[in-house]
Structure 1
Amino acid sequence: MKGKIQHPVRMLTLAVAAGAFIGLTGCATTGQLEELQNKHNADVASAKADAAAAKQAADAANAKANDALRVADEANRRSMDTESKIDRMFKKAMHK
């Protein structure tokens, strides 16, 4: 009978000790939680600012690309006009 009683007492003691250890080491204080929340809020604000700056840079790059495309289209049109004029002049010279 003595062996049967000691086993549950040991288990109960072990469970209480483990619970106390987890309870004392696993809990965060309110200050720690607030600190984490403030850090999280600062990280979110920083990410939003970075995203806004990236969007602004992307918009500027898109505008430059559109300008470059417009200039390239104009250069292509002029090149085709010049090619057409040279071709007409060559044909006219060949008929003489």
Structure 2
Amino acid sequence: MQKKFITSVLIVSALMLGGCATVSKEDLAEVRSLAEKAAADASEAKTMAADAQSTAAAAKTEAAAAKAAADAANRKSEETEAKIDRMFKKSMYK
């Protein structure tokens, strides 16, 4: 991705400079500077994406743990409700 972007920037710059009769060292330095900045931006974006992926994985793990806890609490609630219902029915028969 990063190499494609740099290549694209260099090709576009070369085409733009191709229209000129002469290419100065300053122009080439500017193109090189733009390409290096693009590479740095791409590297930063890659790092940010990796951080976001790591955070998402941690959130997914926490969500799974929370779901497991909620499921366990729901089962316990259902068991307690059934127990109370049995106790009530038993008291009604006496």
The TM-score, its normalising length taken from structure 1, stands at 0.71
Of residues 57, 60, 64 in structure 1, which corresponds to 2:58? 60
What do the CA deviations read for 1:66-95 (whole angstroms, capped 9, x no partner)?
000000000000000000000000000000
What do the CA deviations read for 1:13-67 (whole angstroms, capped 9, x no partner)?
xxxxxxxxx959xx87110000000000000000000000000001100100100
In structure 2, the residue matched to 1:93 is: 91
- Kindly provide the amino acid, as one letter, of the partner of residue 55 in structure 1: Q
In structure 1, the residue matched to 2:43 is: 45
The TM-score, its normalising length taken from structure 2, stands at 0.73
Structure of greater relative contact order (alpha carbons < 8 Å, 6+ residues apart): 2
Q: Which runs of 5+ in 2 are unaligned?
A: 1-18
In structure 2, the residue matched to 1:72 is: 70
List structure 1 runs of 4+ shifted beyond 4 angstroms: none
Q: CA RMSD in A?
A: 1.7
Identity %: 44
In structure 2, the residue matched to 1:19 is: none
User: Could you say which structure has the larger radius of gyration?
Assistant: 1
